[in-house]
Chains A and B, each alone.
Chain A
Amino acid sequence: MSIVRRYTGWERLTWRHPEWWSVALSAAAWLLLAVMTDSPGGGQATPLHHHHGQSVTAPGRGIGTAWVTPAAGWLLMIAAMMVPMVLGSVRATAARSMWRRRSRAIAGFLLGYVGMWFIAGLLILALLDALELDKRFSSPALAAAGFAAAAAWQLTPVKRRALWSCHRTAPLAPRGWKADGDCIRYGWTIGGRCVVSCWALMLACLLAGHGLVPMGIVAVTGAGERYLKRPTPRGYALFLAGFALVYATFALG
């Protein structure tokens, strides 16, 4: 019985790491966001501050077109920051699928996962828009509040349980539409747990103006607690609280 195969470099990449194109997708989203960013600390054209403080539902604007930019920006943020959080689930989806369906299965998973985040994001954006926070408070003050909330959320049992449940695997049907449906449902379910786990982080990112710096903070926190051994909620809470303090200093200064 042979247990050894000599794979080519391409086979090693694509066969052993079926998540490779999810990584590429995320990298492309980061690149696009970097290009679009006005300044590292914030002020990007998407999604909350899409028109430099104007509400997405500002009078006189067609709501259909007004939402295009923030929605697209939100999608980019999900692709950049949230897809890397579920590479383990992406791998599990591929490994539990028939060989020729692996990429299709991953696409189904991502559809469900991104779909959940997209809807959650639109709700958050609508809430922020209704509250008109960006008109009432300065950007650093909002960022400080966002990161303080994210730090507090880290310490809750609900957050901790949601984080662990993000690692849960699920059985998938092997063939046909049922297989597609199972992949989408699995992505949707993981997305829901991920929203519970990371909503505060993403909210902080939005409130901070979603520049590369707050996005980097959020990405490092999210990936760290997901992939590094034995995540310590208190450590991440302190990390986030530190940034809340920095933004608060800016707000007061």
Chain B
Amino acid sequence: MANTVRVRKDVLNLADWDPILLWYARAVAQMQQRPIADPTSWRYQAAIHEYRPGNADPLSNPADVLPSAADQKKFWNQCQHFSWYFLPWHRMYLACFEQIVAATVVSLGGPADWALPYWNYSNGNNARARQLPVAFRDQLTPDGLPNPLRVDHRDAGNDGSTFLDDLDVDLKNCLKEPLFTRQAFGGIAGFGGPKTTFHHIGGSMGEVDRVPHGAVHVAIGDWMGGFNTAGLDPIFWVHHANIDRLWEVWRGRNVQPPHVDPTDGAWLTGETFNFHDASGTPVTFTSDQVVTTTADRLGYRYEDVSDPLPVAAPGLVAAVEVAMEDQTIPELVGATEEPIVLTGQPAAVRVAVSAPTGPAASPEAVAAPPNVYLNFENITAEGAPTSYAVYLNVPEGEDPRNHPELLAGILPMFGAAESSATDQDHAGSGLHYALDVSDLVRSLEASGQDTSDLQVQLVPRHRPGAADVAEAAAVSSPPIRVGRVSVYRG
């Protein structure tokens, strides 16, 4: 139980080795000493997200004694992605982790008010925002000990470079999304994600799940690029604290009507999730218990939840909880006939688009500006595939990267391999991305272009081991199979 409200601070506002970071390092080192079967150990905490035994576990040791099969089933492999539980589940996860670290800090003689810091890489006013914070890349701590916050298993960041770009940390799409959740296939899935039951992996994802969440995961890469290893990197928790903070930012935006969380009982109490508290005792949470961060069982708040985006004039932002039954139904108006395979090289496909004949053709829909969604369905891959940027109708022979005005969005590919797996209770359908290209299509039409034949261009972005985008294109990637590229009208 939390008696006081802890304050989660921006790591960018802290000194390189502020006591918050130094105590984090000491506690991590302590947790790493605990056996994997101990719920308060470092490896157990990472396994809650996902665990794969044997060679897939980079810290696997023949002397390991894993928890019982029943415990593994109940507490491990529980992460919720591509679901409206994405945000509440990770909030529960971080809160329990934070309490375990805080108790460890106290046991080591540290302060009683330790709180997990967050990393606001989207802060455009701080030149260091897109670099990995110093405490996560120094070889040694100020104690002169090996730094447990530094992980060598990263593709980028350890060299102090500014490795995150505008697209990785862009907040416009997620914070401007008016709805927390949407259900209909074909359109975007809301800020937090689509309505699902317990949903470990696969399917459509919320805007914040895609960017910056997924984008930052794959930009750091290696351990951070896999569900089963991400939690082993101490930066994971600081990254997710920021994602958790963005939920508060989104809900606190000064828009009318306001952004609101779901009131559906299925979201509030429909799923019960299992964790351990600081003493290693099993505890359960439902989403309704974590909507307020200062609630007794969470007991924290963020240093800064101010809105980084300019507020639109009243009347321009349609923001309200809209019942699923009243949301627009996207209808398919065009798609590719065959799957495409991406191998780290640029690629292009054409999509013939027909006029809508269903809900999008109704007088009410025709009278409103059209909603247009570009979908990438059934994306399957193995390993760590490269992420892609998507452009529409770039003039022939020109480099899409010179046309930011034609950018449709990015496909980080975080979770592509996991979503393709057919073991561990996975359907194997792969990832699904939906990009809202309404404004882009309208601007194309305004410039006189024919949008009944869309040219979709995919350009590789980050690539493990590649210094920049150009090099990324030259490095082969595990093949990515995109089942279909489709266009929906809503």
Contacts and interface: CB of A to CB of B under 8 A. Distances in A.
Interface of A: 1-7, 11-12, 15-16, 91-92, 95-100, 160-161, 164-174, 178, 228-230
A168 B483 contact: no
Given A99-B332, A165-B422, A174-B332, A5 B378 contact: no
Contacts, number: 119
B114 to A, nearest CB: 34
Interface stretch (B129-137, B142-150, B178-186, B301-309): B178-186
A160 B354 CA distance: 41
A165 B427 contact: yes
17 contacts: A1-B318, A2-B318, A2-B365, A3-B318, A3-B328, A4-B328, A7-B326, A16-B184, A16-B329, A95-B185, A98-B333, A100-B357, A164-B422, A165-B422, A173-B338, A229-B198, A230-B197
Contact of B328 (A5, A96, A172, A228): A5
Contacts of B429: 167-169
Pairs A-B, 4 closest by C-beta atoms:
A171-B483, A99-B358, A171-B484, A167-B427
A160 B378 CA distance: 22
Contacts of A165: 422, 427-428
Interface of B: 178-179, 184-186, 197-198, 270-271, 318, 322, 325-329, 331-335, 337-339, 354, 356-359, 362, 364-365, 368-369, 371, 377-378, 422-423, 425-429, 438, 483-484, 486, 490
Contacts of A98: 331-333, 354, 357
| Chain B at the A interface: SS class | loop
Contact of B327 (A3, A97, A174, A230): A3
Contacts of B325: 7, 12, 16
Nearest to A96: B332
Given A15-B358, A161-B423, A171-B339, A5 B326 contact: yes
Contact of B329 (A5, A170, A178): A5
Contact of B483 (A100, A170, A229, A230): A170
Interface centre among A2, A91, A92, A160 (most CB of B within 10 A): A2
A136 to B, nearest CB: 40
A100 B429 CA distance: 25
B162 to A, nearest CB: 34
Nearest to A169: B429
User: Which residue among B318, B326, B332, B484 has the maximum number of chain A CB atoms within 10 Å of its CB?
Assistant: B332
Contact of B422 (A95, A161, A170, A228): A161
Contacts of A3: 178-179, 318, 322, 327-328, 371, 490
